[in-house]
Amino acid sequence: MRIFVCAIALTSIIFFNFSLMAHGAGQFLDKTMALFILGFALVYSLAFHRGEAFHRNFGNGAMKGGLLFGLMSLIVTANSPFFAEMHMREIGMSFASAILYLLYGFFIKILASMFDQ
């Protein structure tokens, strides 16, 4: 029970910080990205289960998936015509989405590591 309360408290603190920092937490919420990270973490935890706990493999998969999808997003950004023509608005939005993959991956890793007792 204590772990669930701490997970809810940690999530609340992080989203409260986002809302203060960026005038609303809405720009940090993307269902499609979250589904990609959660799906990757699930497949990773099922495929690479080496006798470890499911939550540990799930957290590792989320972190690695966030890193992988974030790097792929940066590569797509660097190869886009927006980058060649220096359209800063499009580059900024694409860079923000790449960082959001990393944020989701590490956030899920933090939540999964709370169950590691």
One DSSP character per residue, 90-103 reads HHHHHHHHHHHHHH
Rounded Cα distance, 12 and 9, in Å: 5
Q: CA–CA separation, 99 vs 90, rounded Å? A: 14
pLDDT digits (tens, 9 = 90+) for 1-38: 666 677 777 777 766 666 666 666 566 677 888 888 88
Give the pLDDT confidence score for residue 27 in this predicted structure. Answer: 64
Return the ∠ at Cα 39 (arms to 7 and 102), rounded to 5°: 65
Who's near 103: CB < 8 A, 6+ residues apart? 28, 66
| Structure confidence by residue, pLDDT tens digits, 71-113 | 998 888 888 787 777 777 777 778 888 888 888 898 888 888 8
Nearest to 57 by CA among 47, 67, 66: 47
Q: What is the pTM of this model?
A: 0.75
